[in-house]
Amino acid sequence: MTNATIILNESIRLMNDGILRGTGRFVEIEDQNGNKQQLELPEAIHTYAAWKQIGRQVKRGEKCKARLYIWKQSKGKTAIDEETGEEHQTPGRMFMKEAFFFTFDQTEPARA
């Protein structure tokens, strides 16, 4: 399961529990039996770092709306090819890490 899938599934659950709001935008989904259903998309949630990349700052004292375990990749090791002498990066391992998610309402424009 990808991080996007993990976050979407948890966002839908949080919206159904009344923790997140809906956006008013709907998508049509089809189950394995061919039954179609309208699904409202929940409001966006991002980590502290993701909001910072967007140019927003999480407000002081805000508590996360969701704590999810998502995939993270560790840094790989640098290896030197003995024949060519070239450096190359080996991929790091994947592991699950707890991440804290915030909504747009919990942020403000980042100060310069």
For residue 35, pLDDT beyond 90: yes
Three-state SS for 53?
helix
Q: What is the mean predicted confidence (pLDDT) over 67-90?
A: 87
Give the distance, in angstroms, between the CA of residue 68 and the centroid of all CA atoms in the same chain. Answer: 9
d(CA 95, CA 112): 34
**Average pLDDT value over all residues in the chain:** 93
In angstroms, what CA-CA distances link 97 with 6, 22, 47, 48, 93?
Answer: 12, 27, 12, 14, 12
**Which of 9-23, 56-70, 80-94 is predicted least confidently?**
80-94
Element (H, E) at 8: helix 3-16
Residue 81 confidence class, pLDDT cut points 50, 70, 90: confident
Instruction: Name residue, tokens 């840094």.
Output: 75
Q: What is the mean predicted confidence (pLDDT) over 23-40?
A: 93
Residues shown for the chain? 112
Q: Where are the domains of the chain?
A: 3-77+88-109
Element (H, E) at 109: strand 107-109
List the structure tokens of 86: 């070239």
Instruction: Name residue, tokens 């990066």.
Output: 89
Element (H, E) at 48: helix 48-54
pTM above 0.85, yes or no: no
For the CA atoms of the chain, what is the radius of gyration?
Answer: 19
Q: What is the mean predicted confidence (pLDDT) over 8-28?
A: 95
